[in-house]
Each structure stands twice: as structure tokens, then as C-alpha cells.
Structure 1
Amino acid sequence: MNEEKLNIEILELIAASLANEISIENKKKLDLWISESPLNNNVYNDYVNTWELFNKTEITSEINIDDEWEIFKKSAKINEGKIVKFKFASLLKYAASIIIIATISITVYFILNNNKQTEIIAQSQVIVNTLPDGSTISLNSNSKFSYPKVFNKLQRKVKLTGEAFFEVTHNSERPFIIEAGKVLIEDIGTSFYVRYIADENKTEVIVKTGKVAVYKSNNPEQKTYLEAGEHGVFSSTKTNIIKLPENNENYIAWKTHKLDFENENLQNVIKVLERTYNKKIIYSPSISNCKLTVSFKEQSLDAVLNVLKATLNLNIVQKQNYIEISGTGC
């Protein structure tokens, strides 16, 4: 049975249940569907609540039962010459439940479909994608991003594991929210970078333009605001968010292909190179504190390594899955 037919059958079972006209066999089918997931249970409860509200509403004398019955007969193509086995009251109740189902089934359809997620996985290269609202995400290698095919009316919530750069189409009535581990990042008209690696037990947010609000998923009232040029670090083992200044854009070198180092320790340079070029680099402790001042633009990893080798008198060996750097120290 395809998904569309299944949804129609479930709606019919719910309608029969609300009208107390459901068979024992169909009741078992409905109960099984409800127990399959929390979403199914929530959808069923929404129908029940709507039906209970309908039953509490007084039917006024403006409704002519005879006229309504004639309309129902014509629409249902009932032949007067045939015996109708439904009791009239039950039939009206069942018909009413069908009407209730029909009026909110579109909403339920969108609830079910909005729950469907599109997942993007960047393995060895950067992926740039435009979201349904016009926002753009640049996803670095070894990262995963998911979002609903259709954003709901209240918010645009997405999920990130890894690192990405966002250029968000701002909409104050439908905030753009990124879930990165235990941290939520809410756009307030901006472009910004997010890095969340589960093994590192921290989430980093760097704002390039505009402003963002960062807060813990279980404490949305306690927000930390970051503005352009600020770097926020949230540790999963601590409650506070550390704010730091951000003086260069090496954090998005994997996107811009621009690197700028000024009197930087070589160990920090290597970390940036690993994330920029998606290559594991092993280095000897003796060279970790060597200082480097240099800039690169649209350069290959080989070109960058050749400059490091010549500048710091290093030994660089290309292995199959990694690069090994050594030297006498500085």
C-alpha cells in the first residue's frame, strides 16, 4: 500500500472511531498505527480534541435536518428503494466526523510531509545548497546537514553536525534556528559560521555580519547575543558561553580559499590547513611553536606546504592518507 492510500485509510479509521462506528478489527488497525510513533499519536489526539470541541458546540435551530439529509443523499447517491442500515443519528454523526476530518486533513497532510527531512552529507568536498526559503548554506567536508522539505509557519529549524557557513534570508516572523548538539543558534539577520563536532564537546559560532542569539536547548530564555566579529564557544560540560573577538576569516578558508596568518604558531596553522583542505597532518612537537606570517589566496595544499617547507626548513612527506611534517625546531 502506498503512502497516500495509507493516509486516506487512516483518516477513514479515525472518522469512524470519532463517530463510534468503528469495527473491532479496524479499531485494532487504528490502535496499531497510533502506537507506531509519537507523531501518529499526536495527530490522532489533535483530531480527538477537535472532535470534542465540535461536540461541545451547540447546534442552532437554523439548521434544517430534512434539507441537510436531502443534500447528503444526493451527494452520496443513496437510492430510496434500498434499505439503509445506518441509524439516522449515527449516520449524521459519522457524516459530521467526516466533515471534521476533511477540514483539518490538509493540515495533517502538511504535518506529515513537513516531518520529512532532506539530508545533505559532504564527505570529501564542500557543498553549497540553497534552502526553500532562499537561505544559502556552505557545508564543509565531513559534515551533515538536514532540513524539512517545507518549513512550518512558526520557524525554520535545521540541524547541523560538522561545520557550515550560513547566509540567512531573514524573517522575524519565522526565525531561522540551527540545532548543533545541545546548542541552538537563532538568526537575527546575518551571515555566520557554525561548527559542532560531537567528539569535541563544544559548539562554536562566529558571526560575519549581523547578529545571532545562542542558547541551550533546555534553557531558551538565557540567550547570549553575538554580533559581527564575535566568536562564541559553548562547552557541553559548562553552562556559560564564552565570547571572544575574531580577527581573521581563516575559519571559513575552506569556503573562501583565503588564508592569512600573522605571527601564528605552526600547530594552529596546521589545524586550519587540515580543515581547509580536508587532509590529516601529523607533525613533530619540536616544530609546534614555530611562528609563521604569510598569506595565501586560491593556492593548492601542495603550494602551501612548499612555502612552509622553504620558510621554516621543514621536512614534509606525503603519505597515502596523511601528511607528515618534521624539523629541528625554531
Structure 2
Amino acid sequence: MSNNEQHIVPIELLTKFLAGEANAEEQMLVKKWKDHSDENLKEFNAIQKLWNQTETAARKETIDINAEWDRMLDAITPAKTRTLPIMRIVQIAAAIIIITGLAFLGIKQSQIQTLKSTFAKTETIELPDGTIVSLNAKSKISYPKDFGIASRELTLKGEAFFEVTKNKELPFIVNAHEAKIEVVGTRFNVRAYKKQTQIKVTVTQGTVKLSEKKQPTKKTILTAGETGTYDRQVKAIKKKPVADKNDISWKTLEMHFSNSPLTEVIAVIQNTYHMEIIISDSVKDCTITVDFQNQDLASVLKVLKSTLDLTIRKDGDKLYISGAGCR
């Protein structure tokens, strides 16, 4: 390889090398070119990084890479000489990988299953591994179509209660924004709405590991009856030894309040019955002690109205609560 040739590289040879199809002599030629200068090595690493970003599936299933090289070469070089300055190769490599990368994304997206609930309705779903997922309103889960074969990992946006089928070989993983929840077989609730600053995990059976995605060592173990919260602003995990049963009232229709301020009561009711409720400042600090079991929204509101002497009116899809106040 002459001094001039050490600054360029045959495109077909580079393609074969990156594809793992180069023979020993061809591998040596590429190695000599890489070792000739720091600049060559840097440029090769950049090309290799781009190449590696394109998954094997994309190269095999969506496009013939070598054919694409040839097609581009025919358009930009004479037939007798197929060598280019390395920066031009980078440009071509980037173009090809963008094409194959987009195709690969198309494949991956078509392999993702997304299930969601509507604004005011919950949904119950059985995953391929037998796990039962109850989705609260305005929530969705996404998982690969081969879920349960090589892994059991999904993404949650919103709130869901999981009754996980036990499988020690494949841990069940829920990705919820910045948090990660991992279990083997258990029952737990995850609240991870986009606009809320906290991701909350409530365990009703078994053991759950709650951690931060970017810092897996930042974790806590939760057992039945415990609640863990991940604060998205300060990036901290806290554990509460006694779970609030109202955290899963949307699923059980059981609510328990003990000297609770009306603002707290209304927050639970909104999450349970999927109705937007606005309360006036005059009554927000009123407190109440009451239990509700399997009652509809009208019955619940009737109790609040008579107990706290409230005025409740409906306007469109919203409820407005007011009153003289509490002493």
C-alpha cells in the first residue's frame, strides 16, 4: 500500500470487513490502513460506530447493504476505480445507515404492542405470559410481540395494577419514566402519570425492587403492605412501611378516610371515578372520617354533601364543590 493509498480505502473492502466477510489478507489491508495514522483510526472508529448502530435485523431484512454500496458507487465513481476519500465514505456510510436505521425502526415499531385505556374507563388485559394488567383511565402499556419468550419487559405511562405470573427465569420489568420496577411474581400497583412529580409503587403481595434507570444501584426493596415513591425532581427513592389502601381504590372501589382534608378526599375520588372535580377554597380544609365500599360516584358525593353541608353542581364534564366552610 503506497503512501497515497494509505489515505484512502477500497469501499468494497471496508464493507466486507465491517460485515465480517473479509479474508485474512483483506483484514490485514484494513488493519494497515487503520494503523497508518491516528486520523485513519479515528475515521475508521467513526464509520464502525455508525455501522454498529444498524442492527443485524435491519441489514438482513430490510436492505442489501452491499448492493446499496454498489448502487451509490455506480452513481458517483468510474467503474475502474472505486476508492474514495475517507470522509466521503463516512458520508455514504451515514446515508446507508440512516436508510437501514429507519427501516429497522419500522420493523421494531411494528413489533411493539401498545394497549391503552380511555379517558374515563379502566381496562383489564392478559399478557402473553399470563400476567393480568388492570389499566386505570388515561394509561397505556407497550411491550414487544415476543413478550414472555426472551424477556418480560414493558413500558407504562399512567397507572396500572399488575398480577404477575411467577417465572424465576424471566423477571418481570416495568419501565415507568425514570424508574424501573422489577419482580418475579407478585401483585403491585404503579402510578406514573407524565405530569406528576412522583412515581408511586404499592405492593399488595410478594416483593418488588424499585430503582432508578440511570443509577441501578439507587434502589429499594418493597414487600407486601409497603409503598415506594421515586421523586422525579430530586431523583430520590423513599419507602413507606404502611401502604395507603386508597392508592388502589380505583381498582378495589374501597376508600378509607380518617380525619382527612377534603382536598385529599377529592384527589382519591377523581382518580377512582375519573371525574374532574374543582373545590372552592372555603371548603378545601374541611375534614371527614368515612369509609366507602363498592359505591358509585353519586352515592359517594351524597355522603360528602350531607356530612359537610356542601353544594355540588355539574357543569359539562366537571363537578364544582363549594360551601360555607367548616369550623
Choose from 116, 120, 123 the match for 2:115.
120
Work out the CA distance in 1 between the residues paired with 2:216 and 2:100: 26
Shift of 1:120: 1.3
1:165 match: 161
1:93 match: none
1:215 match: 211
1:287 is paired with a residue whose SS is: coil
1:328 equivalent to 2:324? Answer yes
Work out the CA distance in 2 between the residues paired with 1:142 and 1:113: 24
Work out the CA distance in 1 between the residues paired with 2:318 and 2:68: 65
Choose from 95, 98, 105 the match for 1:35.
98
CA displacement, residues 36-91 of structure 1 (integer Å, 9 cap, x when unaligned): 3548689xxxxxxxxxxxxxxxxxxxxxxxxxxxxxxxxxxxxxxxxxxxxxxxxx
Work out the CA distance in 2 between the residues paired with 1:182 and 1:329: 41
2:306 is paired with a residue whose SS is: helix
1:72 match: none
CA displacement, residues 217-252 of structure 1 (integer Å, 9 cap, x when unaligned): 111233211111111111122232011133442222
1:306 match: 302
2:268 match: 272
* Equivalent residue pairs, number: 251
1:66 match: none
Q: Which amino acid aligns with 2:191?
A: R
1:287 equivalent to 2:283? Answer yes
Quote the sequence identity (%): 37
2:169 is paired with a residue whose SS is: coil
1:219 is paired with a residue whose SS is: coil
2:236 match: 240
2:201 match: 205
User: With structure 1 as the length reference, what TM-score do the two structures score?
Assistant: 0.68
Q: Is the 8 A contact 1:168 1:191 kept in 2?
A: yes
Work out the CA distance in 2 between the residues paired with 1:287 and 1:25: 74
1:176 match: 172
1:147 match: 143
Choose from 4, 25, 39 the match for 2:71.
25
Instruction: Judge which range, 32-41 or 116-125, deviates more.
Output: 32-41
Q: Is the 8 A contact 2:123 2:134 kept in 1?
A: yes
1:253 is paired with a residue whose SS is: helix
1:315 equivalent to 2:311? Answer yes
1:57 match: none
2:255 match: 259
Work out the CA distance in 1 between the residues paired with 2:96 and 2:116: 31
Choose from 176, 179, 192 the match for 1:196.
192
User: With structure 2 as the length reference, what TM-score do the two structures score?
Assistant: 0.69
Instruction: Judge which range, 267-276 or 198-207, deviates more.
Output: 198-207
CA root-mean-square deviation: 2.9
Shift of 1:114: 9.0
CA displacement, residues 176-227 of structure 1 (integer Å, 9 cap, x when unaligned): 1111111011013210010112222221111111111111111123321111
Q: Which amino acid aligns with 1:35?
A: I
Residues 151, 310 of structure 1: alpha-carbon distance in 2 compared, 3 angstrom cutoff: same
Q: Is the 8 A contact 2:259 2:287 kept in 1?
A: yes
Shift of 1:7: 8.7
Q: Is the 8 A contact 1:115 1:148 kept in 2?
A: no
Q: Is the 8 A contact 1:162 1:197 kept in 2?
A: yes
Work out the CA distance in 1 between the residues paired with 2:134 and 2:283: 33
Q: Is the 8 A contact 2:173 2:182 kept in 1?
A: yes
Q: Is the 8 A contact 1:183 1:203 kept in 2?
A: yes
Choose from 212, 216, 222 the match for 1:226.
222
Shift of 1:133: 0.7
Residues 261, 173 of structure 1: alpha-carbon distance in 2 compared, 3 angstrom cutoff: same
Work out the CA distance in 1 between the residues paired with 2:291 and 2:72: 70
